[in-house]
Amino acid sequence: MDKNALLKRYRARLLTVERLSQLSCETYLYEIGFFLDWLLEQGLDTRSCTSEDLTRYLAARRLGVAENPVGADAAGIKERAAAKAISALRSFFRFVIDAGARRDNPASLLEAPAADKRLPSVMASGTVDALLASIKTNTHGGLRDCCLYELLFSCGLRISEACGINVADVFMDEQVLRVTGKGGKERLVPFGTKAHELLERYLRIARPGLLGARRSEALFISRLGKRISRKGVWKNYKLLTMPAGVSGKLHTLRHSFATELLSGGADLRSVQELLGHADLATTQIYTHVDTTRLRAEHKKYMPVLNV
């Protein structure tokens, strides 16, 4: 069976048997696609490869030798991505076993790496303002990007959430977005005056210009008139940060949103609701980010006490 046919059957299993979300399904398919290519390069196949072979594959992924999926660092994947790769391999070999191609799951012996304990990086609000101000809004694409990145920051959205918003999810009078997060869970997120102004201009000018005679329910449209993809958002962001002199990944905007709220006195439960976190412990990491900032300010103004 060729690669495309195999991935098509595996995709059907992910959606119907394992009941993964569309986004998780896409992530698993990317990973297994690269794994199958690696097997071919090594002269191996899914029937006979061993746990040692999978360990070598993961080592290649960590070093960046094996080609990376969309969104991974060019230098290689990190701990969280490696854990996802292992989950995908375990799932894939369950599929292989059910198909009768082998009796054991070599990925079951793999140990997921320890979770990365580093605090999320954040941008100062002035840096975010400088980034948004650098975007030229005299083009349809520029106005779209400015509106998109403003919402990512001021609403704390995940990239996939922003890409998935439909026009029907925007309530201009109430200044609220309906957002579908992980696990298909919906939440309502308010947006401010600046985002309202950009949305109004985008919906009135840029979106019709990008869409042309085509039809789409998606809020953010690519230059081809289709729903903008995560890959497209990442690519445009990189092109924007270089001339603006801004460093930091796109997801940093979401981290910055949470930290700014907590710095301003917002309670943890409210921030959890706005971010769409299922577990409060996930939100609590931002309290440590804020403590780090307080320590830096303390050291700056009270150096004598810092021995």
The catalytic residue positions are 158, 182, 251, 254, 277, 286
Alpha-helical runs (H) found in 64-117: 79-98
Burial class (CB in 10 A: 0-12, 13-18, 19+), 115: exposed
The CA distances from residue 192 to 135, 249, 307, in Å, are 19, 23, 43
Rounded to whole angstroms, the Cα distance separating 214 from 100 reads 46
Q: List all residues 6 or more positions away from 212 whose beta carbon is below 8 Å from its beta carbon.
A: 225
- Can you tell me whether residue 180 is helix, strand or coil? strand
How many whole angstroms separate alpha carbon 172 and alpha carbon 286?
30
Longest dimension (CA), the chain: 71
- For 56, other C-beta atoms within 10 Å of its C-beta total 17
- With residue 271 as reference, give the H or E element that holds it: helix 268-275
Distance CA 137, CA 147 (A): 9
User: Contact 190/138 with Cβ under 8 angstroms?
Assistant: no
Q: Give whole-number Cα distances, 123 to 126, 127, 257, 262, in Å.
A: 8, 6, 9, 14
CA-based torsion, 100, 106, 111, 115: positive or negative: negative
